[in-house]
Amino acid sequence: MTNQKGSAAVILLIVLVVILAGGLVYFAFLKKPGGVTVAPTPTKTATPTIKPTATSSPTPTSEKQTTYDLLKNIASWKVENPVTNVQIQRCTDGTKHNPAYKVMGLSFGPGNPDTTPSIQSVVSRVKNVLSQSGWKKCTPGTGEGNYYSNVGPWFRETYVKNGKLLQLDWNLSMGAGYNMSVQFEY
């Protein structure tokens, strides 16, 4: 029995010596002269090639969301999506409202004569944002442009970008109320 205990003790001692020696060798290789510790060089393993099953691309932001994001902080808009009464006019180059597209509408107002400066400020800011983001004013088709009616002056401009239209209308009429609207296809 003492022989078995002695053999077990010898085996245990050998295992401990091997572990201790392995640890010393490991730490000896990690230390460089000057006391700087470096990480061990990893062994090179084969990296599996990953083949995508479908073309992966970032999800594009929709035209609706992009245009809305450009305009949303300019005024306290009333949003209608989709609009029930599309007012978008055509351009002389033949671009016209495509009924296959939905139209989102933003409106601001009505106001009174005291709000004329704020309406004009909003119109100016909207035009600036549109021109900076690639919307191009098109030459208006029939029935387009500034006009006067029995309730006062109305102003209308149509813009085009990526084959889609945007209509900007505003009026400074005491009878109809000072307001503006934007409708755009998406």
Higher pLDDT among residues 12 and 50, named by residue: 12
pLDDT digits (tens, 9 = 90+) for 129-185: 999 999 999 876 655 555 555 556 778 889 999 999 999 998 877 666 688 999 999
Question: For the packed helices 116-132 and 63-71, what is the interaxial angle rounded to 10 degrees?
Answer: 140
Residue 51 banded pLDDT, cuts 50, 70, 90: very low
Closest CA to 162 of 98, 77, 73: 98
pTM greater than the 0.95 cutoff: no
Q: What is the pLDDT of residue 16?
A: 57
